[in-house]
Amino acid sequence: EKSTRKPRPILQSAKLANVLYDIRGPVHEHAARLEADGHKILRLNIGNPAPFGFEAPSAIVRDMIATLPAASGYSDSRGILSARRAIFNHYQVRENFPAFDVNDIYLGNGVSELITMTLQAFLNPGDELLIPSPDYPLWTASATLAGGNVVHYNAIEEQNWEPDIADIEAKITDRTRGIVVINPNNPTGAVYSKEVLTKLADVARRHDLVIFADEIYDRILYDEAEHISIATLAHDVLCLTFNGLSKTYRIAGYRSGWVIITGPRDRAASFIEGISLLSSMRLCANVPAQFAIQAALGGYQSIDPMLKPGGRLYEQRRVAVDMLNAIPGVSVVAPQGALYAFPRLDPEVHEIHDDEKFVQDLLLKEHILVVQGTGFHYPRHDHFRVVTLPGVGDLEVALERLGNFLSSYHQ
């Protein structure tokens, strides 16, 4: 006998109610549909080097192929020892990096997995985590998913997007447990000075906060910019330093990242046990990609030559900054690092009330895909992010079309 009961809708969990990750959001699917219909979309939206002709370094690929037969089993849940040893050596020679051990390193399927894993191990409902605004939105999404309350602190555009220390101090409460520092920054391209990092470390020290330092762009620097790991200024603070091979080594698809825990690990034994538990529950990170780490860190396949004048990334960033600044009502702080620019639309010239609609309209009319500023938890609708990965020719076409589009765009 057939039941007359109407089948219930199958719902996502309530945990996802406030989880936002716009970089691959609905507009992205719209762009994919346009592409399926045969349109060429200029994608200035995702920091994925490979589609823009950045090849995986051959030494890394060869090493991975050679080690594939040995990589078919699960590894230690922290990661294979040779990779952790290579990471250890890589950081040990850095000036003033705090002491640590190979067992303080955890490998992951990209930094992304380690962000969600460590925040799951760290946050209780109601715990507050300070995250920059604008942010790389995975941080906010992961903290929310882990049950934490995200408190965004401002970055000051007029001061090269440096974190606003006074704003951070003002937002600290009894429930604040940690602070996320993304340096070099996505989406602003800011690289923080020693002075600012010292102040951030001091705030963490005084308020007993754990520092989550996302340094995935640490080697992607322009002009005279110098990257300083905040851990070097915070030996007495629990510091989780995240990095990986997706950007500097251009192998985002292989999924290879790590986190290093430094500072008072005895006091953090319970938290670290939690990280170990979650890391063993996912058994281990993709093993062939773990074998890429030693080849990458021990060899000469870095992105350095592309960052000098005449180098590909240097020139793309120059063209992006010059062309954006030449559009009436648009201004951009020149990024000092990473692969992005975060331009401002002057509200006196371009009145935009809904930046998601702006991105959608730009896609439909000009077939250019960018990401709206609010997708990075930026509070106002007057910014957007472009990726500086496309070649100069494509960037010129895209930014010229953007200028034309803006000259007659109204909301």
Calpha distance 303→232 (Å, rounded): 23
Which residues in 126-272 belong to E strands, given as ranges?
128-133, 149-156, 162-163, 176-182, 210-214, 239-244, 257-262
Residue range at the interface with ligand PLP (CB under 6 A); choices 65-73, 110-118, 162-170, 282-290: 110-118
Residue range at the interface with ligand PLP (CB under 6 A); choices 32-40, 105-113, 300-308, 321-329: 105-113
When binding is defined by CB under 6 A, the residue of 42, 121, 182, 307 that contacts ligand PLP is 182
DSSP string, 317-378: HHHHHHHHHHSTTEE-PPPSBSSEE--EE-TTT---S-HHHHHHHHHHHH-EE-EEGGGGT-
The distance of closest approach from Cβ of residue 112 to ligand PLP in the complex, given in angstroms and rounded to an integer, is: 3
The helix (H) or strand (E) run that includes residue 387 is strand 384-387
Site membership for ligand PLP, residue 186 (CB under 6 A):
yes
Scanning 232-311, the segments in alpha helix (DSSP H) are 269-281, 287-298
When binding is defined by CB under 6 A, the residue of 75, 120, 241, 246 that contacts ligand PLP is 246
Interface with ligand PLP (CB under 6 A), residue total 13
Identity of the residue, 200 or 406, whose beta carbon is nearer to ligand PLP in the bound complex: 200
Torsion angle (degrees, nearest 10) of CA 248, 251, 252, 255: -110
When binding is defined by CB under 6 A, the residue of 257, 263, 288, 373 that contacts ligand PLP is 257
Identity of the residue, 168 or 252, whose beta carbon is nearer to ligand PLP in the bound complex: 252
Collapsing DSSP states into helix, strand and coil, what is residue 260? strand
Residue range at the interface with ligand PLP (CB under 6 A); choices 2-10, 98-106, 108-116, 123-131: 108-116
DSSP string, 179-203: EEEESS-TTT-----HHHHHHHHHH
CB count, 10 Å around CB of 226? 10
Calpha distance 251→50 (Å, rounded): 7
Task: State which of positions 18-57 bind ligand PLP (CB under 6 A).
Answer: 47
Is residue 184 reached through a cis peptide bond, with omega within 30 degrees of 0 on the bond before it? yes
When binding is defined by CB under 6 A, the residue of 252, 278, 293, 399 that contacts ligand PLP is 252
Burial of 98 (0-12, 13-18, 19+ CB in 10 A): buried
The residue with tokens 């936002």 is 20
The distance of closest approach from Cβ of residue 339 to ligand PLP in the complex, given in angstroms and rounded to an integer, is: 8
The distance of closest approach from Cβ of residue 244 to ligand PLP in the complex, given in angstroms and rounded to an integer, is: 4
Identity of the residue, 34 or 225, whose beta carbon is nearer to ligand PLP in the bound complex: 225
The distance of closest approach from Cβ of residue 256 to ligand PLP in the complex, given in angstroms and rounded to an integer, is: 7
Q: Which amino acid is at 229?
A: S
Torsion angle (degrees, nearest 10) of CA 91, 97, 99, 105: -40
Identity of the residue, 250 or 381, whose beta carbon is nearer to ligand PLP in the bound complex: 250
The distance of closest approach from Cβ of residue 360 to ligand PLP in the complex, given in angstroms and rounded to an integer, is: 22
Per-residue contact track with ligand PLP, 274 to 303, x per CB under 6 A? Answer: ------------------------------
Identity of the residue, 63 or 215, whose beta carbon is nearer to ligand PLP in the bound complex: 215
Site membership for ligand PLP, residue 374 (CB under 6 A):
no
Calpha distance 88→278 (Å, rounded): 22
The residue with tokens 């089948």 is 7
Calpha distance 385→375 (Å, rounded): 9
Residue range at the interface with ligand PLP (CB under 6 A); choices 52-60, 72-80, 106-114, 371-379: 106-114
Site membership for ligand PLP, residue 79 (CB under 6 A):
no
Site membership for ligand PLP, residue 111 (CB under 6 A):
yes
Site membership for ligand PLP, residue 110 (CB under 6 A):
yes
Task: State which of positions 204-233 bind ligand PLP (CB under 6 A).
Answer: 214, 216
Identity of the residue, 54 or 136, whose beta carbon is nearer to ligand PLP in the bound complex: 136
Residue range at the interface with ligand PLP (CB under 6 A); choices 58-66, 104-112, 289-297, 318-326: 104-112
Calpha distance 345→338 (Å, rounded): 21
Question: Binding residues for ligand PLP, per CB under 6 A?
Answer: 47, 110-112, 136, 182, 186, 214, 216, 244, 246, 252, 257
